[in-house]
Amino acid sequence: MRKIALALALSAVPLPLFAQDAPDVSLTRIDCGRATQPIALGGFGDTGASDGMTRDLVVSCYLIRHGDDIMLWDTGIDPATSGDPDGGFSMGAALVDQLAQIGVTPADVDYVGISHYHYDHVGQAREFPQATLVIGSADWAVIEGGSPWVNRDLFVPWLDGGSPVRQAGGDLDLFGDGTVKLLAMPGHTGGHHALLVRLADAGPVMLTGDTAHYTSNYEHDRVPTFNDDRADSLASLDRFKAMAAAYGATVVIQHEPDDVSKLPAVPEAAH
């Protein structure tokens, strides 16, 4: 069944991938957190393969320029929780301060794309209250519903109706030209998404969100115990890998230190 579903998913992906006259697109990595100590990995796999293992993980955010439009992908941890042992991550400069290095102010950001609602991906979203929030519809329903797993204060600009929310029920071609596309990868959460960014020189880049957290879990299809749905998680891993192979994409696992270094950090950019 997984193979059938995968074939159907791939057949639905339109080619060519992007319009030839698309605006210039660039992609910059922003460091948004680092583990305060090696993280115990037992919960990152439900088969026991990771029991007793520890390793360092990072939190990464991304700035995408699409012509005159600016999008952030994930917003890292809340600086107020930096160094908190319960959160497990610390950070140096806040996201707003790092953007200032390249002349980007909060008011310049048009879109805040969120892979999913977990704390280490949404911590600085409210710093961009005028932006359109782009998020999976199932995840937005969890946020609106007042889940104890979500800090609603981080989403006040959108919950109070003052700023727009663009919900993605499935894949979403944000600009309509194939260059920046949210990819529905449910499992970790119900509305979880990855991101495809098509660069003219560097080629396609696929950002995992939390489709996988580090390389061995990605390679061996290991599913964390805290994922919402195991079957969906495995189907999403299948789809993500098949798309990456079909597009010849550079895969960036957002919590994997070796992977995030594939992309230049502020103030540099990949084009």
CB 207 within 8 A of CB 198: no
Q: Indicate the fold that domain 24-260 takes in CATH.
A: Metallo-beta-lactamase; Chain A (3.60.15)
C-alpha to C-alpha distance for 162 and 129, rounded to whole angstroms: 8
Strand runs labelled E in 165-254: 165-168, 172-173, 180-184, 193-199, 203-207, 250-252
What pLDDT, on a 0 to 100 scale, did the predictor assign at position 128?
Answer: 98
What pLDDT, on a 0 to 100 scale, did the predictor assign at position 10?
Answer: 43
pLDDT digits (tens, 9 = 90+) for 243-255: 999 999 999 999 9
Structure tokens at 214: 């580090």
**Phi first, then psi: what are they for 55, rounded to 5°?**
-170, 165
Q: What sign does the dihedral 40-43-45-49 (CA atoms) show? A: positive
* C-alpha closest to that of 199 among 69, 40, 17: 17
C-alpha to C-alpha distance for 184 and 69, rounded to whole angstroms: 22
What pLDDT, on a 0 to 100 scale, did the predictor assign at position 26?
Answer: 98
What pLDDT, on a 0 to 100 scale, did the predictor assign at position 82?
Answer: 83
C-alpha to C-alpha distance for 208 and 191, rounded to whole angstroms: 14
**Phi first, then psi: what are they for 132, rounded to 5°?**
-80, 125
What pLDDT, on a 0 to 100 scale, did the predictor assign at position 1?
Answer: 40
Q: One-letter amino acid identity for 256?
A: E
* C-alpha closest to that of 234 among 264, 268, 211: 211
Task: Give per-residue burial for 21-48: e unless 16+ CB within 10 Å, then b.
Answer: ebeebbbbbbbbbbbeeebebbebbbee
C-alpha to C-alpha distance for 180 and 18, rounded to whole angstroms: 9
Instruction: Look up residue 236 and give its DSSP letter.
Output: H
What pLDDT, on a 0 to 100 scale, did the predictor assign at position 20?
Answer: 61
Mean pLDDT (the chain) is 92
* Tally of CB atoms within 10 A around 140: 22
Domain locations along the chain? 24-260
pLDDT digits (tens, 9 = 90+) for 12-43: 444 445 556 779 999 999 999 888 889 999 99
pLDDT digits (tens, 9 = 90+) for 224-240: 999 999 999 999 999 99
What pLDDT, on a 0 to 100 scale, did the predictor assign at position 149?
Answer: 85
Ordered per-residue pLDDT tens for the chain, 271 residues? 443 344 334 434 444 455 567 799 999 999 998 888 899 999 999 999 999 999 999 999 999 999 999 999 999 999 888 877 767 888 889 999 999 999 999 999 999 999 999 999 999 999 999 999 999 999 999 999 999 889 999 999 999 999 999 999 999 999 999 999 999 999 999 999 999 999 999 999 999 999 999 999 999 999 999 999 999 999 999 999 999 999 999 999 999 999 999 999 999 999 9
pTM of the full structure: 0.91
What pLDDT, on a 0 to 100 scale, did the predictor assign at position 81?
Answer: 85
What pLDDT, on a 0 to 100 scale, did the predictor assign at position 260?
Answer: 96
C-alpha to C-alpha distance for 75 and 128, rounded to whole angstroms: 10
Return the half-sphere exposure (C-beta side, CA atoms, 13 A cut-off) of residue 137. Answer: 6
Instruction: Look up residue 50 and give its DSSP letter.
Output: T
Per-residue CA distances from 72 to 2, 30, 126, 145 (Å): 32, 10, 12, 24
